[in-house]
Amino acid sequence: MKEKAKAFAEKAHQGQMRKNSDAPYITHPIRVAERLERAGCTEELICAGYLHDVVEDTVYEIEDIQSLFGTRVAELVAAHTEDKSKSWQERKQHTIDTVTFAEKEVKYLIVADKLDNLLGLEKDLEEQGSIVWKKFNAGVDKQEWYNRSIAKNMYIGLDKSKAPTFFKEFEDVIQRVFD
């Protein structure tokens, strides 16, 4: 099922590029899924890693994910899909609220995604400088608020000692990017 999810995500994101880069967009979901796999997550969660942006950023809908990959994968993807009709602030607050109260697999998906985004941002800042911030819907202050809020709330309901190692990596990258 993982290869099917990867292939579907590749097709869905075909032609899309990463922000601030000429890298194909699919490199991001692949890294998210690989991080989840290295952490020993379930096959359903790894599939959700590949598919996490499909509904948000392509023509496909959650029903497509459910019919092809089952209810559990669709639930995971849906839990982390932003409603693009809402403002940036509303969307990000929803993600913060989700990571605060969600089951651990949804937390894992969100943090793996945010970590990969932040690692990409860190690289872009090193290569391009602060001009990178102009390409975002919200500037450095709001980005810092958002990422620090995810980190502050990601452990709620989890035994910190049993959280995947990439949670700590996320905290470390926040320090490097925003301090």
Which residues are catalytically annotated? 56-57
Q: Which amino acid is at 4?
A: K
Q: Which helix (H) or strand (E) holds 162?
A: none
Cα-atom radius of gyration of the chain, to the nearest Å? 15
| Beta carbons within 8 Å of 52's beta carbon, 6+ residues apart | 29, 32, 76, 77, 80, 81, 109, 113
CB of 81 within 8 A of CB of 56?
yes
Q: What residues have CB less than 8 Å from 70, skipping those under 6 apart?
A: 44
Q: Tell me if residue 24 falls in helix, strand or coil.
A: strand
Tokens of 130: 């602060």
CB atoms near residue 65 (< 10 Å): 27
